[in-house]
Amino acid sequence: MKPRLNIVTLGVKSLQISRDFYKKALGWEPAAGSDENIVFFHHGGIVLALYPLDKLAEDAEVPPERSGFSGVTLAINQDSKDAVETVFNKAVENGAKVLVEPRETLWGGYDAYFADPDGHSWEITWAPFWEYDEQGSLKM
């Protein structure tokens, strides 16, 4: 079994606040296995998990302190500029912090950025050269 990324876990201050945020802002429903300790979202072949930040740091045996940029961005691709705006606006209406308003990009696409309640950075993006399958996975 070739090593590959299967799960992305975001450390969060409040599981309840983050679960509500992702449900309202992006429409994501917690999957089976989610409970008061952890939340899973199924995204095509991978899992996005929410887990308390202090417990996540404890699990990785690193100090939980963090400041500034996480150094990681997470992108949601859409199939049109309008869809980028729709997803971005709904997120902002539901508490996302605006980082970058929708804009034309230098590489010919269209994107916007917001931060979730813990400062995790999300990019909503459209690119003319990307195609998707029926699951919304990038065709590669």
Closest C-alpha among 75, 89, 92, 90 to residue 126 = 75
CB of 73 to a second copy, least distance (A): 5
Query: Given the rule CB under 8 A, which residues bind a second copy?
Result: 1-11, 26-28, 31, 42-48, 53, 56-57, 59-79, 83, 87, 99-100, 113, 115, 118-121, 123-125, 132-133, 135-138, 140
- Structure tokens that stand for 110 in this block: 């269209």
**Cβ closer to a second copy: 11 or 15?**
11
CB of 75 to a second copy, least distance (A): 4
| Gyration radius of the chain's alpha carbons | 16
**Cβ closer to a second copy: 15 or 125?**
125
Cα torsion angle, 134, 137, 138, 140, sign: negative
From edge to edge, which strands make up the β-sheet containing 121-126? 97-104, 110-115, 121-126
CB of 21 to a second copy, least distance (A): 13
